[in-house]
Amino acid sequence: MKADVPLLLRALRAPQQLAGLPPAGWDLLLRQAANANLSATLHDWLAQHGMLAQALPQAREQLSWAAVMARRHRQATYWEIRLIGKALAGLGLPLLLLKGGAYAAAGLPPAAGRLFSDIDILVPEENLPQVEAALMRHGWVGTHHDSYDQRYYREWMHELPPMMHVLRQTAIDVHHTILPRTAAQRPDARLLRAAARPLTGDAAPPGTAILAPLDMVLHSATHLFADGEFDKGLRDLWDLHCLLTHFGQHEPGFWEALPARARHHQLQRFMFYGLRYSAMLLGTEVPPATLAAMAADAPPPPLLAVMDALFTRALLPHHASCRDAGSALAGFLLYVRGNWLRMPPLRLARHLFHKAFLTPKNSQGAAA
Amino acid sequence: MLTVAALAPGALQQRLAGDGLRLRTGRFSVRLQADMPSVAAGIGQLYRDYPLLQDDDFADFHLHLVRPRTARRWLRPQVRLHCDGYEMFQPMPLQHAFPMFEWGLNWCVSSRAHRYLIVHAAVLERNGRAVILPAPPGSGKSTLTAALSGKGGWRLLSDELTLLELDTGLLVPNPRPISLKNASIDIIRAYVPDAVLSPPVRDTSKGTVAHMRAPGDAVLRAADCAQPAWVVFPHYSAGAATTLEPLARAATFMELAGNSFNYSVLGAAGFHALGRLIEQAAGFRFRYSALDEALDTFARLHES
Amino acid sequence: MPVLWQLVPGQSLLHRSWDGQVVLYNEVSGATHLLDAATLDLLHALRDGGLAPEDWTDPELQLALAGLRKLYLVEPC
């Protein structure tokens, strides 16, 4: 663990510590937050803790810009979910939302200040062809037409190749389980669907469902720790931390049931890492009994030491201020990301500006 | 209040090459790092009157122009722009560095400052009332803006980015150099003799580009907001007679929305702000070819 | 049996009118529409329950509503 805890982590763990932060400190904090895609989240977090009023006015101003964007993303996400629901209405399947879509529809804490991209849904494997056909009837088209890519997604991964709506330029990922087929672990997709909880309320079209709390948390940990890319690592870890904290408080028996559920889905190693690094970096309060029950799921001590060194670097904001000699080894440097332009590709007004003067580096990302 | 002019040329270059020069442009603070003589010259000439900020001040936007350390460095030297650590655009030839800064800063503001409805338009003020000139590139908007602010008695609020504050409905100044292209450069050189123009930069995607220092008290009065009074869509057409035709309000609304960077991000707040603007400001289509006649039309518009 | 229609839930018909033309903000999709005054009147009537049984059988009305459906302003009940 690095000696200096990055400012962003300090802000997330103990926002009151930001009182008296000098302008240069706010400048750095906002850069770290933007880099980690946590600007709007930081806005909401500070507001929740009464620290927004005390922030440097220019910092508060910038955070409010990010909040406007997040609000728009949320509106667009509800809208997209609604349209997906309409497209799949005739199939007799629940609209089982995963990740960001689920957080938004259910109003869960990770939805606060979030910038959404694709919508992810979970369907039975045997229904993939009908789902794909229904989406295509309603204006979605397949992507990744290269035969290698097609095989990659359909045979080896756990999803259809991402589909994009022709008019709205929004993307949907249709999964049938939560880990690639090629992975050693085999989560129980049937249980994931059977334990799913229906949603009611304005944000959710009829027939919408989300994973049960235990499964949602396991999915979050798996999504983060089974993946090789950590450019969104801190954002994903924050989601996990929010879910653990929320369900720990509101879902009876959550902590007690977590170890066994993790093992049932063969995801115990990922959950071990999830609990460990969420606690280490974000201060998640995991009951000692749960930690003890998961102790057997740890990797051997030498491997754990290596993982600690890697993850405690890779999960930090990828901002220059948070990197040390080991950072390049631990993750990979990703400067070129249209991060804060990433929104569900909405029908925005033409970016007259970039069309007029400069060529965007990644026309798909920047031209949203 | 110290301005950029207070720095000796050597000191200016040093800051740009090192930890960065921090300055204020209207409501925004900028940190610029650029170790290249053309940028230092451009800043020294065109940003002379802008307030200088301290090294430890908060900066809204960090722009960093770099020369890539590859073989290209010597053969066909390039420049890359990093905005807050992100590289959004393709590299450009080194001699385009200063225009790249200008366009990059415009891009930063227009993609993030969601306190404002940001219209791709020029905006000028006279006696507290402002005219907004939306126009796609190449329609002569910048030439007109340079003429109106350089000679016509209008104060420049912005050449590219009209900032309509959502809460107040006021137009907020964002005075920056006016970018002129191709034939306009010589036209303005002749029409506004005391205009301060940067050396022309050739072979950009827009042709030859030069920047004109924001004239008069534009920078000094960057804190003075204005009420929207007119929206004029200009069309330059060689040999055309000067005509000003009223435009229906709903059409003005839709055209302004279509010319905005962030209308669709702002949702209902953007809708209401634009609606309020349309209540206050009359819309027109304006065709012209002669600058004198154009300035005359705007003077009469102002008096009406 | 004629199709009955309603406003899409969430639409409060935020709009401005000038000279017989209307701009309307679609709170559900985030889009902004340019409509004529008659169409706005129809939307208001739909919202306020001002349509009579004989109105529903009017083919032109059904056509207009089918068009508005594409904008996600109205939907069949």
Q: What is the pLDDT of residues A306-364, one digit of tens each?
A: 888 888 888 888 787 887 766 655 443 222 222 222 222 332 333 333 333 444 454 44
Contact in structure between A176 and A125 (CB atoms under 8 Å): yes
SS3 content of chain B, % helix, strand, coil (to 5): 35, 30, 35
Polymer length in residues for chain B: 304
pLDDT at A326: 62
Beta strands in C1-77 (DSSP E): 5-7, 14-18, 21-25, 32-36, 74-76
Residue B243: give the domain boundaries. 116-303
Please give the tally of structural domains in chain B: 2
Cβ–Cβ gap B275/C16 under 8 Å: yes
Q: Which of C11, C25, C29, C75 to mutate to test the interface with A (most CBs of A within 10 A)?
A: C29
The answer to whether residues B189 and B279 belong to one domain is yes
On whether both B133 and B42 belong to a single domain, the answer is: no
Which residues, including other chains, have CB under 8 Å from residue B236's CB and lie 6 or more apart?
B139, B140, B143, B144, B288, B289
Closest C-alpha among B73, B107, B110, B60 to residue B87: B107
Chain A CB within 8 Å of residue C12 CB: no
Which residues from chain B sit within 8 angstroms of residue C21, using beta carbons?
Answer: 248-251
Please give the mean pLDDT across all residues of chain B: 94
Measure the CA–CA gap between A310 and A304, rounded to whole angstroms: 10
Query: Is B127 in the same domain as B95?
Result: no
Measured between alpha carbons, how far is residue A357 from residues A273, B46, B160, B236, C67 in Å?
46, 20, 12, 20, 38
Interatomic CA distance for residues A155 and A153, integer angstroms: 6
Report residues of chain C scoring pLDDT below 70. none
For B154-188, the pLDDT digits (tens) are 999 999 999 999 999 999 999 999 999 999 999 99
CA distance B169 to B163: 10
Mean pLDDT of B23-37: 97
Report how far Cα A154 is from the mean position of its chain's Cα atoms: 23
Minimum CA–CA partner of C33 in chain B: B254
Give the pLDDT confidence of B50-77 residue by residue, as tens digits.
999 999 999 999 999 999 887 667 778 8
Boundary (domain end) residue, out of B112, B133, B166? B112
* Residue B108 and residue B121 share a domain: no
Query: Residues B133, B91: one domain?
Result: no
Give the DSSP letter of residue B242.
P
Q: Is B262 on the interface with A (CB under 8 A)?
A: yes
In this predicted structure, the answer to whether residue B238 has a pLDDT above a threshold of 60 is yes
Give the ipTM. 0.93
Q: How many CA atoms lie within 13 A of A17 on its CB side?
A: 12
Give the gap in angstroms from C-alpha B164 to the nearest C-alpha of chain A. 14
Q: What does the pLDDT read at residue A337?
A: 22
Supply the pLDDT for residue A228: 62
Amino acid at B278: I
Residue C48 — φ and ψ, nearest 5°?
A: -90, 5
pLDDT of chain A along its 368 residues, tens only?
344 789 999 999 999 999 999 999 999 999 999 999 999 999 999 999 999 999 999 999 999 999 999 999 999 899 999 999 999 999 999 999 999 999 999 999 999 999 888 899 999 999 999 999 999 999 999 887 777 677 767 766 678 888 988 878 889 999 999 987 667 788 999 999 999 999 987 778 889 999 999 999 999 999 888 766 677 899 999 999 999 999 999 999 999 999 999 999 999 999 999 999 999 999 999 999 999 999 999 999 988 988 888 888 888 887 878 877 666 554 432 222 222 222 223 323 333 333 334 444 544 433 32
B90 plus B195 within the same structural domain? no
Task: Determine the 3-state secondary structure of A226 from DSSP.
Answer: coil
CA distance A42 to B110: 22
Residue at which a domain ends, from B91, B112, B133:
B112
This prediction has a pTM of 0.89
What tokens appear for A340 in the block?
A: 């804060």
Does B25 lie in the same domain as B143?
no
Q: Are residues B131 and B105 in the same domain?
A: no
Residues B159 and B247 in one domain: yes
Q: Do B250 and C25 touch (CB under 8 A)?
A: no
Q: Where are the beta strands (DSSP E) in A179-292?
A: 197-198, 208-210
Which of B58, B85, B107 is the closest to A354 by Cβ? B107
Chain B residues with CB-CB distance to C25 below 8 A:
267-268, 271
B58 and B135 together in one domain: no
- The predicted pLDDT at position A264 comes to 96
Cβ contacts of A127 within 8 Å, gap of 6 or more? A91, A93
Q: Which of B96, B112, B128 is the last residue of a domain?
A: B112
Same domain, yes or no: B267 and B130:
yes
Instruction: Give residue A134's pLDDT.
Output: 95
Same domain as B74, residue B161: no
Backbone angles phi, psi at A140, to 5 degrees: -85, 145
Looking at residue A336, its pLDDT comes to: 23
Pair of tokens at residue B227? 């009420």
Structure token digits, residue B255 = 């055209």
How do the residues of chain C divide into helix, strand and coil, expressed in percent and rounded to 5?
A: 35, 25, 35
The tokens for A324 are 């040390």
Q: How far, in Å, CA of B127 to CA of B154, rounded?
A: 9
Residue bearing tokens 């085999």: A186
Tell me the shortest Cα–Cα distance from C52 to chain B, in angstroms.
31
